[in-house]
């Protein structure tokens, strides 16, 4: 049986037509020993709650957003073949209520499930040298990929409150370099070849060019 929790978006990653988000659970308000209200359980979604935040990788906590907003403003043909969740009335009747379009499952070449399993190898939530040896022994992930992705730590001073894009690759919200206003280049923290969904078209250099992709889905 599925369940839900409330959370707040802390950061957005724009990857082609897909949007990923860093989300912090809202937690619940409890009383401390002095009777003051405190928020408990406000951990980041995607990692075990005991994981030290200074150790958390972006590959673990960039969650696919339901209804990729890029699809709402671009070519509806992008909806064909998209993954979706069908919401049912109950487990008994299986009457379908609605469907939600999903982004791709994973923001990095190492899947979130793989990172979840790797994180749970460590009792204290730290990816240390022993964890690295276990990943190497397993052999399903190359060490070059693991080391590159594990270096991309979630940095609240850099990532929190920001919309991230990647280098000079076009996306539905940028077609020229003038559209970088209020955006942050996340590729300064990770190689683009380890990020999913990045397009091959590059940003134009002419400032007079309007972002037609936003309105038509074409560039």
Mean pLDDT of 186-203: 91
CA distance 162 to 94: 39
Band of pLDDT at residue 209, cut at 50, 70 and 90:
very low
Residue 71 lies in a domain: no
Residue 18's pLDDT band (cuts 50, 70, 90): confident
Higher pLDDT, 48 or 37: 48
What pLDDT score was predicted for residue 173?
75
pLDDT at residue 219, as a whole number: 46
Integer CA distances (angstroms), 214 to 162, 172, 181, 210, 219, in order: 20, 5, 16, 9, 9
Domain assignment of residue 120, yes or no: yes
Residue 123 within a domain: yes
**Domain hosting residue 211, numbered range:** 7-65+106-216
Give the burial string for 139-158 (b: 16+ CB within 10 Å, else e).
Answer: eebeeebbebbbebebeeee
Angle between the 112-119 and 129-138 helix axes, to the nearest 10 degrees? Answer: 130
Tally of domains within the chain? 1
In a domain, 30, yes or no: yes
Mean pLDDT across the chain: 80
d(CA 101, CA 104) in angstroms, rounded, equals 10
Residue 111 lies in a domain: yes
- CA–CA distance, 34 with 46 (Å, rounded to integer): 32
The predicted-structure confidence for 47-97, as pLDDT tens digits, reads as follows: 888 889 999 999 999 988 765 454 554 556 666 676 766 677 776 766 777
pLDDT digit string (tens) for 110-162?
Answer: 999 999 999 999 888 899 999 999 999 999 999 999 999 999 999 999 999 99
Say if 85 falls within a structural domain: no
103-107, 179-183, 209-213, range with the lowest pLDDT: 209-213
Given a cut of 50, whether residue 218 has pLDDT beyond it is no
Domain contains 142: yes
- The answer to whether residue 90 sits within a structural domain is no
């Amino acid at each position: 049986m599925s369940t839900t929790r409330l959370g707040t978006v802390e950061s957005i990653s724009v990857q082609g037509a897909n949007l990923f988000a860093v989300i912090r659970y809202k937690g619940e308000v409890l009383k401390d020993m002095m009777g003051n209200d405190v928020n408990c359980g406000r951990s980041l979604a995607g990692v075990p709650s005991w994981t030290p935040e200074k150790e958390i990788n972006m590959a673990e906590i960039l969650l696919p957003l339901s209804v990729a907003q890029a699809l709402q403003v671009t070519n509806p043909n992008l909806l064909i073949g998209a993954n979706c969740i069908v919401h049912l009335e109950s487990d008994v009747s299986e009457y379908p209520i609605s469907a939600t379009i999903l982004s791709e499952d994973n923001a990095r070449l190492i899947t979130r499930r793989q990172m979840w399993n790797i994180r749970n190898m460590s009792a204290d939530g730290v990816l240390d040298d022993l964890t690295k040896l276990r990943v190497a022994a397993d052999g399903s992930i190359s060490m070059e990929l693991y080391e590159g992705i594990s270096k991309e730590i979630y940095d609240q001073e850099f990532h929190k409150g920001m919309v991230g894009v990647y280098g000079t690759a076009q996306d539905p919200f940028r077609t020229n370099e003038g559209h970088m206003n209020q955006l942050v280049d996340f590729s300064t923290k990770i190689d683009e070849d380890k990020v999913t969904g990045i397009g091959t078209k590059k940003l134009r250099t002419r400032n007079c060019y309007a972002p037609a992709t936003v309105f038509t889905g074409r560039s």
